Amino acid sequence: MLVVMQEGASEAQIQGVINRLVGMGFTVHRSTGVVHTVLGGVGPVDDFDPADFEAIEGVKECHRIVSPYKLVSKNWRPQGTVVKIGNVEIGGDHVVTMAGPCSVESRDQIEKVADIVAEGGAQVMRGGAFKPRSSPYSFQGMGEEGLKLMRAAADRRGLLVVSEVMDHTQIPMLMTYAHILQVGARNMQNYNLLRELGRLRHPILLKRGIAATIEELLLAAEYIMSGGNYDVILCERGIRTFETYTRNTMDVSAIPVVKKLSHLPIVGDPSHGTGRRDLVAPMARAAVAAGADGLLVEVHPDPDRAVSDGAQTLNPAQFNEMMRQVKAIAAAIDRTA
């Protein structure tokens, strides 16, 4: 349930409502907006009458939340979530580009990539050190050594780092190198991992599973938020359909749908969304036009020699051209990129 406090409600009034909710068996999550404080009561408690709460001094309104997700719902934070990391804001007016190779391969490669993505205007460098490959015989990633190389290259250019966490045992180590922990499509419904990530106070990039509905994506985010970690960024990266021309079908409409249902920022990944280099820029433009708060794009100094996902990876010239186009699209909808 949601309790919206009146404008100017006192701290004592807010605490009074929190105590009452806790007494009823709810776990309470507090969202402090510019005007209203909103209290989200989460738990298996059904027998309450919202009118009883509306009678309490300082309470503006009380609602039963009918959607299966609560903290992820737009009602809990109508003002929207902006994930702030240093001076980078994801979910604000600026469309944030996260770019880099599918996998970290070597010092030379990641240093070159850092130059390319920084010069192109990206603020976050991506790169996998632990790779969820469909085949056990494919390259599995450089592990911690790759993270060290990526963080050093990123720090030199003032970039943030996003990298995938595949297993809860990797969390402490990954947190020391990556400003944002990525949950890959294959792990979107790994509920043990999501719960562990909920205990952190560290930003998470949650990618949509290949067969996940929008509601399942939002429920996966609810697992993380219910632990008190509210810095969740969603990612539309394409879903599996009967179409075979593209690797996945990038569901651009999921972006405005998520924006309507949730306060969480969402980024588009046109690389995994299409699997084809020639389609990355068009779908990046589409994602930004549809309201994406950022892009996750694969870039490599020599994509034809990339150890993973080369076919969907941009070369430096293609990346620069995509950035130029995306800036124009962002400007058309009163944003920057």
Contacts with ligand PEP, residue ranges (CB under 6 A): 102, 128, 132, 184-186, 207, 237, 272
d(CA 127, CA 141): 10
Print burial letters for 265-290: b (CB count within 10 Å at least 16), e (below 16).
bbbbbbbbbbbebebbbebbbbbbeb
**Residue nearer to ligand PEP on the CB measure, 39 or 185:** 185
- Minimum distance, C-beta of residue 27 to Mn ion, in the bound complex (Å): 36
Secondary structure (H, E, C), 204-229 = EEEECCCCCCHHHHHHHHHHHHHCCC
Kindly identify the residues of this chain, within the stretch 142-181, that bind Mn ion according to CB under 5 A.
Answer: none
Residue 64: strand, helix, or coil: coil
CB of 185 to ligand PEP, least distance (A): 4
Q: Which residue number places its CB atom closest to Mn ion?
A: 102
Residues in contact with Mn ion, shown as a per-residue x/- string from 250 to 289 under the rule CB under 5 A: ----------------------------------------
Instruction: State the binding partner of 184 from Mn ion, ligand PEP, none, CB within 5 to 8 A by kind.
Output: ligand PEP
Shortest separation between residue 296's beta carbon and ligand PEP, angstroms: 7
- For ligand PEP, the closer of residues 91 and 128 by Cβ is 128
Binding partner selected for residue 185 from Mn ion, ligand PEP, none, CB under the kind-specific 5 to 8 Å limit? ligand PEP
Report the chain's terminal Cα–Cα distance, integer Å: 37
Which lies closer to ligand PEP via its Cβ, residue 151 or residue 207? 207
Beta-strand relationship, 96-100 and 59-63: unpaired
163: β partners: 181
102 binds Mn ion (CB under 5 A): yes
Detail the DSSP E strand segments found in the chain. 2-5, 27-32, 37-42, 59-63, 83-85, 88-90, 96-100, 124-126, 160-164, 180-183, 204-207, 232-236, 266-268, 294-298
Closest CB to ligand PEP belongs to which residue? Answer: 184
The residue (of 29 and 207) whose beta carbon lies closer to ligand PEP is: 207
Using the rule CB under 5 A, which residue among 222, 231, 236, 309 binds Mn ion?
A: 309
Strand ranges of the sheet holding 27-32, from the earlier edge strand across to the other edge: 27-32, 37-42, 2-5, 59-63
Which residue has tokens 């404008």? Answer: 7
Partner touching 68 among ligand PEP, Mn ion, none, CB below 5 to 8 Å by kind? none
Of 87 and 244, nearer to ligand PEP (C-beta) is 244
Binding site for Mn ion (CB under 5 A): 102, 309
